[in-house]
Structure 1
Amino acid sequence: MKSFSLTESQLPFDLDLSLSCGQIFGWKKTRDTWKGVHNGSIVTIRQKGILIEYDGLSQQDVIRFLGLSDPISDIIESIREHIIAYKGSPDRFFETRYSQSRGLRILRQHPWECLVSFICSANSNVSTIGKRINLILGRYGTSCTLFENTFPDPAVLSQCQEPELRECLTGYRAPYLIKTAQYIHEHPDFFHQVRKMEYHQAKDTLMNLPGVGPKVADCVLLFAFEHLNAVPVDIRIRKIIEDKYASLIHTDKSGKLPYDTIGGFCREYFGPYAGYAQQYLFATRDLEKGEVTRSAELP
């Protein structure tokens, strides 16, 4: 395996936390080594202190995939400044959560792989999502080795028969996957166009795809398109915001806060790196193995 040492500006970094905190699926850890699919390649990565060992990608691609170019100290400073500007004092709750999640990075996933993964994620836990994705890869993916496949491209998935795709545990998600694959296949520049859009336009455009509601769109924008202000609001984030921040949210509505109200508040409160802030809140170390979920609302 090839290797490189993390620089001072890339620290702290926690590979295990970054790959297990609900932002990517289908990756497996054996002893100290992670293996999964990224951008059409089978990738192997492990961390030994400040040493990153890897195979399947170039060093530049590993650095980009792992978010190692993100200026973490600047990101945290920005979040803290926006918090103080909003409420006039530091946020002890956020600081506690951040201290439990230091080393986390927002990954830079391939848009198609990320989109398929999060359509598959609706109303599921990480274990089930992983099984679902690996079944899709096994049946329809491009073979790399005897037992390892990468994601099927849109042309392949667009030709799937729904009953067969349901055998991959996709359930009601099967027609969404097929119709979305058909659209992407027919519009090969779709992701390129989305990448040029500002956040709200990009989100609206993604939500035109079958199976993509606001939650899935925000996940794809945050984890594949570098919209670090995107805030996926799942059950866990909703509970945190309603329990800890409800008194700071200015709304005329009572009861359950609307999805967009929570996301809008987070962008005002945490600033342009609200996506990082919500991930620190979400990916705390007190989660039991297998509990993390990115369950999305039904489209």
Structure 2
Amino acid sequence: MTPTLQKKQPVSTHCGIMLENIPDFDLDQTLNCGQCFRWDRQPDGSYIGISQNHSCHISQKGSTFYFEGTTLEEYENFWKDYFDLTRDYGKIKSLLSQNPVLRSACAYAPGIRVLRQEPWEALCSFIISQNNNVGRIKGIVARLCETFGDPLDGGYFSFPGPERLAELTPQDLAPLRCGFRARYIIDAAQKVASGQVDLESLKVLPLPQAREVLTAITGVGNKVADCALLYGCGRIECFPVDVWIKRAMERLFPKGLPKYMLPWAGIAQQYIFHYVRTCPGSLEG
């Protein structure tokens, strides 16, 4: 059973809402660990981001968070789940930290939470992420939204739905400068828009079957499929393996993850990924 937290009640302020005493959550660690691509850090340390057709300006002071311009209704109906604020990460980290490597990884970035993103947005973003760096991924995603999304207040743009992109050709995506990924994006959009790939069903299908559905999309292998399932479908048992994780597993977990970690493998993966990618010497343990 996934540990859950008691509900934290947001407080209305003159410019939005305030959340107090939120544990195990850090904006820098969560929004810069490679799981999302539509958040930008502001000079004052706050973040502005967009998910689907929602924009958010969020800042942090200790364990208190301020959502500027966000209503109580929008927080309850969208952002609370997006930031996974009902899951008890303290208990999960305590369980994972029985292993010395995970103990170090959790201590290195204890404020990481695995975001619960919209399935299509996650799938499309991680198709774009293939053989790419974060800066280029963010640029392609931004151009995709500006070109084919709907305008939102504040000069932002929504993430274009599969129905919109399914009408296009790879040549139409040339201005995005996404290269070979254009063909993959169009194929994914057409399969999702037609119902051949039912993203909502992936939240409950047995994992091998869910992977099989996604890998029927041109250019989607197991890594992108697992990213879409973990970040877009809430499948925290998924463990995406990229170059960094492969190296970490060979060096630190040659026999695989301990069995007791498997229900939270995706959360463990996020701690490991950030740790080995950004902490010098982490692969020497």
TM-score computed with the length of structure 2 as normaliser: 0.84
Give 1:273's aligned amino acid. Answer: W
Change (3 A) 1:150 1:168: same
Give 1:287's aligned amino acid. Answer: T
Instruction: Map Cα deviations across residues 245-269 of structure 1 (whole Å, 9 max, x no partner).
Output: 22xx2xxxxxxxxxxxxxxx33736
TM alignment of 1:168-207, pairs within 5 A: 168-187=176-195, 190-207=198-215
Q: Offset of 1:92 from its aligned partner?
A: 2.1
Could you tell me whether the CA contact under 8 Å between 1:229 and 1:271 is conserved in 2? yes
TM alignment of 1:9-28, pairs within 5 A: 10-28=22-40
Instruction: Map Cα deviations across residues 30-86 of structure 1 (whole Å, 9 max, x no partner).
Output: 122212221322222221222212245722222211111111132124334xxxxxx
Q: Offset of 1:271 from its aligned partner?
A: 2.2
Report the counterpart of residue 116 of structure 1 in structure 2: 124
Report the counterpart of residue 6 of structure 2 in structure 1: none
Report the counterpart of residue 152 of structure 1 in structure 2: 160
Report the counterpart of residue 53 of structure 2 in structure 1: 40
Could you tell me whether the CA contact under 8 Å between 1:65 and 1:108 is conserved in 2? yes
Partner SS, residue 155 of structure 1: helix
Report the counterpart of residue 4 of structure 1 in structure 2: 18
Cα distance in 2 for residues equivalent to 1:208 and 1:229: 21
Q: 2:233 aligns with which of 222, 225, 233?
A: 225
Report the counterpart of residue 140 of structure 1 in structure 2: 148
Q: Offset of 1:184 from its aligned partner?
A: 1.1
Cα distance in 2 for residues equivalent to 1:176 and 1:23: 20
Cα distance in 2 for residues equivalent to 1:110 and 1:150: 12
Name the % identity.
28
Report the counterpart of residue 253 of structure 1 in structure 2: none
- Which ranges of structure 2 fall in alignment gaps of 5 or more residues? 1-14, 280-285
Report the counterpart of residue 69 of structure 1 in structure 2: 86
Could you tell me whether the CA contact under 8 Å between 2:84 and 2:113 is conserved in 1? yes
Question: What RMSD over aligned residues (CA atoms) do the two structures have, in Å?
Answer: 2.1
Q: 1:266 aligns with which of 241, 257, 265?
A: 257
Cα distance in 1 for residues equivalent to 2:55 and 2:188: 24
Change (3 A) 1:26 1:39: closer
Cα distance in 2 for residues equivalent to 1:285 and 1:27: 22
Q: Offset of 1:243 from its aligned partner?
A: 1.2
Partner SS, residue 59 of structure 2: strand
Cα distance in 1 for residues equivalent to 2:249 and 2:16: 42
TM-score computed with the length of structure 1 as normaliser: 0.81
Cα distance in 2 for residues equivalent to 1:153 and 1:103: 31
Could you tell me whether the CA contact under 8 Å between 2:162 and 2:192 is conserved in 1? yes
Report the counterpart of residue 10 of structure 2 in structure 1: none
Could you tell me whether the CA contact under 8 Å between 2:16 and 2:70 is conserved in 1? no
Could you tell me whether the CA contact under 8 Å between 1:79 and 1:274 is conserved in 2? no
Cα distance in 2 for residues equivalent to 1:56 and 1:125: 31
Could you tell me whether the CA contact under 8 Å between 1:97 and 1:280 is conserved in 2? yes
Report the counterpart of residue 258 of structure 1 in structure 2: none
Change (3 A) 1:50 1:154: same
Could you tell me whether the CA contact under 8 Å between 2:39 and 2:47 is conserved in 1? yes
Cα distance in 1 for residues equivalent to 2:241 and 2:197: 28
Cα distance in 2 for residues equivalent to 1:285 and 1:173: 27
Q: Offset of 1:279 from its aligned partner?
A: 0.8
Q: 1:280 aligns with which of 259, 262, 271?
A: 271
Give 1:197's aligned amino acid. Answer: L
Q: Kindly tell me the number of residue pairs found equivalent between the two proteins.
A: 260
* Greater relative contact order (Cα < 8 A, sep 6+): 1
Report the counterpart of residue 165 of structure 1 in structure 2: 173
